[in-house]
Every structure is written in C-alpha cells, then in structure tokens.
Amino acid sequence: MQTKVYPKELLLLLCVGFLCFLGGIVNGLIGTGGGLFIMLSASVIGKLTESECDMYSLDMMCVLPLSLFSLLLYPEGSVDTDFALSMLIPASLGGFVGAKIKRALDVKYLSIIFACLTIYSGITMIIRA
C-alpha cells in the first residue's frame, strides 16, 4: 500500500526516525540491542503505512544493514576470526531454520523465554563486571 505522509503524521515519522536513531546508538555502542528500539517503532509504522508491520521481520531486516555498518566501524582485528569461521555453519543453519519455523511456531512464547534469559544474562553481566 502507498505510504501517505501528511503534516500531522510527520510527528509519527519523526518518532520512528528517533527510535531507529536510538537503536543505532545502542547497536554501535554494544554491538547488539538496536532491534529493541526498531521493534518499538513497528506499531507506529503500522499506523503510517496503514498495513500491519511484522515487528520481528522489521527488526531483523533493519538490524542487518545496521550490524554490517557497525561491524565496519570496529577496529581491524576485533573479530575473532577462528571462532567466527568455526561458527559460520551453525549461524547460517540457525538463520535458515529460524525463518522456516517462524510461521509454524508462536513467536510470542519464544519471545517470553528469550526475554527472561536476556534479563537473567543482563543481571549476571552487571554482577560479574
């Protein structure tokens, strides 16, 4: 559907832009977490485009170029190439399987599990730092 931008909708557009900008800051700073802000913007985008916006797909597709850009900004030699090369197969296989099972599974329940794990990991990280 054609995106219509009226002056009164400019605020919503700015809101989306600002959330994505914040997502960019977080992704640039810690190499992850930017998707949180982009997912927040999905509902606003849904209003703007008058069509439902799949926040999970939006998150992944926006964080993909953002991650590439962020990675290019890291100093040379930051990536552990030995580990990364040995993990290329599970990473690509995981992405493939994840996309395939996405429709079959209720992503909401998986999100709950991952959210709990994320909170636990965050607390562990703070305590151990």
Partner 1 sequence: MAAFIIVLILSMAAGCGIGGGGLLVVYMTLALSFEQNAAQATNLLLFIVSAVSSAVVQMKDKALPQMKVILFCSLAAFPGALLGTFLRGYFSERGLRVFFGYVLVFAGAGVLLRLIRAKLSDAGKLK
The answer to whether the beta carbons of residues 34 and 61 sit under 8 Å apart is: no
- Residue 4 found at the interface with partner 1 (CB under 8 A): no
The answer to whether the beta carbons of residues 53 and 45 sit under 8 Å apart is: yes
- Residue 105 found at the interface with partner 1 (CB under 8 A): yes
How far is 78 from 53, CA to CA, in rounded Å? 35
Residue choice 10, 31, 47, 50 for contact with partner 1 (CB under 8 A): 31
- Residue 30 found at the interface with partner 1 (CB under 8 A): yes
Q: Least distance (Å) from partner 1 to the CB of residue 4?
A: 12
- Residue 11 found at the interface with partner 1 (CB under 8 A): no
How far is 56 from 44, CA to CA, in rounded Å? 14
Q: Least distance (Å) from partner 1 to the CB of residue 11?
A: 15
